Chains A and B, each alone.
Chain A
Amino acid sequence: MLDRRAAVKALLNNRGENLLVVAGLGAPAWDCTAAGDHDLTFPLWGAMGGAVPIGLGLAIAQPDRRVLVVTGDGEMLMGLGSLTAVGARRPANLAIVALDNERYGETGMQRSNTGRGTNLAGVAKASGIPVVATVGSAARLDEAVSLARSARGPVFVTLKIDPAAHDLVLPPRDGVLLTERFRAALGV
């Protein structure tokens, strides 16, 4: 299993101004912040289940930029239906990475259904997303990063991560600030 902080750091390495990131609530948002807070990261503090459709709307609006949704298994389970819209629209610039520790980390590490049989990448594939992968070893992390950052999308990658908790590294939580800084950095 992968270390989540190292994996997200690799995902966002040398991100530049062409990468737009939507970070799902909880640990994925803390991971993205630990990798370096950025005006073009939109971290969620709520709106559970919304990370993928936010990414879809963003990907349609910004077809010349890469949109990367980084979320967790619990958030993804709540929004599984949103994968069907991604599979139907097939935006080439959208990638989704689910950090799957088979736990609800923010609420006490309760087990999630990805540890009881649900295969998120399998759901993505069955929803019409053409490029999917499940990666759980450091030896294949480069491959996962390459898919997420540059493969023709839509892409869905499950990263099987160690359930260990890390320090909280919190992004700003003022939603207006997060929105305005994102749009200003984008020039819209």
Chain B
Amino acid sequence: MTDTDPPAAADWSADAVAALRALDVRQIAYVPDAGLTRFLDLAAAEDGIAMISVATEEDAIAQCCGAWLGGQRALAAMQSSGVGNIPNMLSLPRVCGMPLLMLVTMRGEPGETNPWQESTGRAMPALLDAMGVDLRRVEDAAEVGPALAQAGADAFDGDRRICIQLAQSLIGFKGFHGAGESDA
């Protein structure tokens, strides 16, 4: 592997999109992350999935709830720092018994070069737990698709709130001058 090889994203991104298609997810509300770039591109290429770039992650949570009210399934995708923006909005699906499916790429883990990402990355599991969202961590690219499929089934069929957490080692490391960098 050279510095210019893409990370393992080439595998899990397609699996994740396939899982979401099988779940009949019709909206993806997101704030981008470098680790989500290929996933977002593949999802955008699908017919029948509305891709909405939201200004702040709490809007993604609210949009997913609106989609559910209207009879559609949705996904909220973001990086871990964005989870710090959403706790109050998580009261909405919780108090309303609505399903919620989240896909979060981790920052602030070993290999992180931006120290400002560490605090919220550290706090993320506690934040989600405090707001009643189940966290399921995935470290193996081959497990992303199956984990998302199971989380979606549990969320949408069981009115649960579930977040798939993708380890930073899985998505590649953000560098400012090297591999893994992206406009996202």
- Which residues does A use to contact B, with CB under 8 Å? 20, 22, 42, 44-62, 79, 81-82, 84-85, 88-89, 175-176, 178-180, 182-183, 186-188
User: Any chain A CB within 8 A of the CB of B181?
Assistant: no
Chain B residues within 8 Å of A, Cβ to Cβ: 26-27, 29, 50, 52-56, 58-72, 74, 88-89, 91-92, 95-98
Other 9 A-B pairs with CB < 8 A, given A61-B69, A85-B53: A50-B62, A55-B66, A57-B67, A57-B70, A58-B67, A60-B70, A81-B59, A85-B54, A176-B95
Q: Which DSSP category, helix, strand, loop or mixed, fits chain B's interface? A: helix
Contacts of B62 in A (CB 8 A): 47, 49-54, 57, 82
Specify which chain B residues have a CB less than 8 angstroms from the CB of A22 in the assembled complex: 66
Q: Is the CB of B55 within 8 A of A84?
A: yes
Bound Cα distance A98, B137 (Å): 41
Q: Which 6 A-B pairs have the closest CB atoms?
A: A57-B66, A188-B71, A61-B70, A81-B55, A175-B96, A50-B62
* A56-B66 contact in complex given A46-B91, A47-B88, C-beta closer than 8 Å: yes
- Check A54–B71 contact: CB distance below 8 A: no
CB pair A46 B74 closer than 8 Å = no
